[in-house]
Amino acid sequence: MMGEGGNMDSAPVRAAEFFAGIGLVRTALERVKGAQVQVVWANDIKQAKYNAYAANFPDAEDHFIVRDIRQVEAMDLPQGIELATSSFPCIDLSLAGNRRGLVGEQSGMFWEFAKIVEGMSPRPSVVLLENVHGFATSHGGNDLAAALARLSKLGYSLDVLAIDARHFVPQSRPRMFIVGIQKDKLPASAPQELPPISDVRPAWVQAIHKKHRETLDMHYMRLPALPEGPQDLDGFVETEVAGNLWWTEDRVAAFIGSLSELQKARFDALVGADAISYRTAYRRTRQGVAVWELRKDSIAGCLRTTGGGSSKQALIRLGNGSRAIRWMTPREYANLMGAHDYKLLAGTPNQQLFGFGDAVVVDVVEWLGNNYLLPVLRPNNGSE
């Protein structure tokens, strides 16, 4: 396929980032082999997220539109978009949310994304959607079925897969992805049959394919095995922070006092260990009482948007008879989202925590870019 002035295979993939947030999808796509993806348009409704994005991407003012997506039209996008990404809000789909599904005020923004794609000419060759696993079960699976049907009507063959970010960073963050490829762009390497069970397509994902393959165009791409991922927080936590970030002894005592017997035994064992280790903890409500719970493993729980104490994650440093506790920092959130080099120049600490908790893990999207998106969009340009 030829573009103006040259071979399309040698030109960067032109991408549009819907629900761009603080720009971690762009961060990931720019790491794809040979910088072969270029984000040329982005949108989000929140000025604070634009500010963080602009602090990291000086060209933001040229292509980032701060606007409610319901006020965005296809004509607002530049021509030649080949890839459209959409990490639309998950609050109505998440098990921790209100479960209103795609009729909800937030997650219902999927329909606005689809409406814009419908109006684009030509439509993007590939769309990449990301959301929580709860999307698969929302309203008994009917929300996902409706979304897949809508994308199918736009000419896309569809693939569903699931990736937990813990394969790349020490954070448990399971997410579901939908990849749509325009049917005339579907490569021969994408079988239109039931995918085998694998680490990216466990049995529940295979069941989605099986349910819809008779009525919709479905495919899958053969992908390499996911890496094992780090097993602890070394290299991701800040070992030197201001002393006033660590909790007072009274607050630490209150934390310990809220632990169950099992949790307290786990805590004490780590305090008595010869080596320093880190654990994370969330505040939960059990039988109407607020308690703290440590993770069994040495990685972080899923980072969330900050909206109260239960949504923030505490970091515990234990060992050699000592213990210290504090809230996790924005830099640690950035590291756990695969954005070690992200500049924390804009917004308050809470806005920064919110931005990362609402984002995608860079390494996951980069892996999809290298192993899935680029082989489809630039099959003759050295991608494997």
Please report the domains of the chain, with CATH numbers, ordered by start residue: 2-230+354-377 (3.40.50.150), 243-328 (no CATH)
Range 151-155, long-range pairs (CB < 8 A, 24+ positions): 151/114, 151/127, 151/178, 151/180, 152/216, 152/217, 154/114, 154/117, 154/118, 154/123, 154/180, 155/123, 155/182, 155/183, 155/184
Identify the pLDDT of residue 306.
Answer: 66
Using 50, 70 and 90 to split pLDDT, how confident is the model at 284?
confident
Identify the pLDDT of residue 93.
Answer: 46
* pTM across the whole model: 0.91
Identify the pLDDT of residue 100.
Answer: 54
**C-beta separation of 326 from 314 below 8 A:** yes
Using 50, 70 and 90 to split pLDDT, how confident is the model at 315?
very high
Q: How many residues can be counted in the chain? A: 384
Identify the pLDDT of residue 94.
Answer: 47
Q: What is the mean pLDDT of residues 121-134?
A: 94
Residue type, 324: A
Q: Distances from the Cα of 139 to the Cαs of 41, 101, 111, 267, in angstroms?
A: 33, 7, 16, 39
Least confident among 31-45, 232-246, 284-298? 284-298
**What is the overall mean pLDDT for the chain?**
90
* Matching residue, tokens 């003759």: 380
Identify the pLDDT of residue 91.
Answer: 55
- Give 145-156 pLDDT, tens digit per residue: 999 999 999 999
- Give 203-245 pLDDT, tens digit per residue: 999 999 999 999 999 999 999 999 999 999 999 999 998 889 9
Using 50, 70 and 90 to split pLDDT, how confident is the model at 99?
very low
Using 50, 70 and 90 to split pLDDT, how confident is the model at 104?
very low
Identify the pLDDT of residue 98.
Answer: 45
Percent of the chain residues topping a pLDDT of 90 = 77
Q: Above 90 in pLDDT, residue 105?
A: no
Percent of the chain residues topping a pLDDT of 70 = 90
Q: Above 80 in pLDDT, residue 264?
A: yes
Q: Are strands 277-286 and 314-319 parallel, antiparallel or unpaired?
A: antiparallel
What string of H, E and C letters represents the secondary structure of 118-162? HHCCCCCCEEEEEECCHHHHHHHHHHHHHHHHHHHHCCEEEEEEE
Q: Above 90 in pLDDT, residue 269?
A: yes
Q: Above 80 in pLDDT, residue 310?
A: no
